[in-house]
Amino acid sequence: MPSPPSDSRRAAGKREVLRLAKDRNVKFVRLSFVDVLGVAKNVSVPATELEAALEGKVTFDGGSIDGFVRGEELDMVLRPDPTTFALYPWSTPEMPEARLLCDIAMPDGSPFEGCPRTTLRRAIEEAKGPLAGVTAALEVEFYLFEALDSEYGSTKTADVGSYFDFSANDRGEDARSAIVAALQAMGVSVASSHHEHSPGQHEIDFPHSDPLAAADALLTLRSIAKHVAAARGLEATFMPKPLEDRAGSGLHVNFRVSSEQQPEMLYMIGGLLAHAGALTAVCNSTVNSYKRLVNAWDAPIYTVWSERSANALVRVPRQDPPQLEMRSPDAAGNPYLSLAVLLGALADGIDQHRLPGDPLTGSTYELAERERHERGIGTLPKSLRQAISELDNDPVIRAALGDHIYHAFRDAKLEEYERYRRAVHPWEHRAYLRLY
């Protein structure tokens, strides 16, 4: 497991957090973490207990969290990261509220192997040799729909915009700007934002940072977007494919390495292509994810790279400094696990000198089956069940997750797929109910 920050650095961070909380009259602090599926959880403590929380004295029942401890109760410890302290921008003067992102530890203080954030820390530590100085930038797509009184949410929008459009009377534009302002108020850097392909669809881009900060930024965005949207009569969703006839929402991950590692970028591409099937299980972790990975709206479907093709799995545009873009992930999964397995694939590509073949010119959708076979181009999994099978057979990606998370994640996703398989969907009613 990765080493925690030194005692002197942690102590300095704690003192700064306590000072800021006092200066800003903070009343409550949310200690936030994620379960194995990437769902945000939190424990709220009054500011009078903040010092105890920073010393790792706040516990919770790990048996109640998906993928943590099953079948028994075990008090687990929240270890806040002082660098993530931020005030929520909607706090009122009477009730200022802050948050801290946390790692999870065992009762004896040792790192918990089922903590996704700690898993990414470990992946970063292990990648320091082959991937020294690697940074990640994220392009996050999502929808803003009208908030209607319905059980499962709405997919209705009055927006009619497309790529980079601007409309003075579009509430989505105002909401997106408010989301960006809220992120910046919390200390999260934003590179840009714009309207995406479909009505109601938006994108917010984060600049290059270390992978842990990138995952923290995505987790923060998912929370902030829902809160800001709700205040404006909208619902934010990072569901990969909410509408059959509209573009899906992806998470494009851009990696940049130091100048010393740039000659090895071909091997890094080779690592992503070689492990694409198993990566898909983690980076596209819902049943719905596979409705997006079809030959439409520039979604990748083949294990191929290109300098220009927007629907290649990996795109390496000619620019300085060079970077590579993984285009298949979506933002509905666990950001810490997604980045951990991507780093594992990149590092394995370098270690094993995996070559990716020649780059593709043109659209991947025009590839004939014979050409794909001759060039050794594979197909991404077409379902969550198929992706889990790929994960089962990939020791590199399993090792990046760690044994505990691999089994917990696998069990949860097989159960999810089985629920989906047994469900009777409206499409089946339309296709068969009167026909047979």
Q: How far is CA 6 from CA 2, 9, 19, 62, 150, in A?
A: 12, 5, 20, 26, 49
Cβ neighbours of residue 347 closer than 8 Å, sequence gap 6 or more: 126, 127, 129, 130, 131, 271
pLDDT tens, position by position, 128-182: 888 988 999 999 999 999 998 877 888 999 787 665 556 666 788 999 999 999 9
Phi, psi at residue 256, to the nearest 5°?
-135, 135
pTM: 0.94
Percent of the chain at pLDDT exceeding 70: 94
pLDDT tens, position by position, 318-363: 887 889 999 999 999 999 999 999 999 999 999 999 999 999 988 9
Phi, psi at residue 11, to the nearest 5°?
-65, -40
CATH number 3.30.590.10 given to 135-256: yes
Q: Is the pLDDT of residue 109 over 80?
A: yes
Domain residue limits, the chain: 7-114, 115-129+262-436, 135-256
What is the fold of 7-114?
Ubiquitin-like (UB roll) (3.10.20)
Contact between 206 and 179 (Cβ < 8 Å): no
pLDDT reported for residue 201: 95
Q: How far apart are the first and last CA of the chain?
A: 58
Q: Give the pLDDT band (50/70/90) at residue 3.
A: very low
To which H or E segment does residue 340 belong? helix 335-351
pLDDT tens, position by position, 355-401: 999 999 889 998 888 988 888 899 999 999 999 999 999 999 999 99
Higher pLDDT, 338 or 92: 338
Higher pLDDT, 296 or 66: 296
Q: Is the pLDDT of residue 15 over 50?
A: yes
Q: Is the pLDDT of residue 7 over 60?
A: no
CATH number of 115-129+262-436: 3.30.590.10
pLDDT tens, position by position, 233-273: 999 999 999 999 999 999 999 999 887 788 899 999 999 99
Same fold, 115-129+262-436 and 135-256: yes
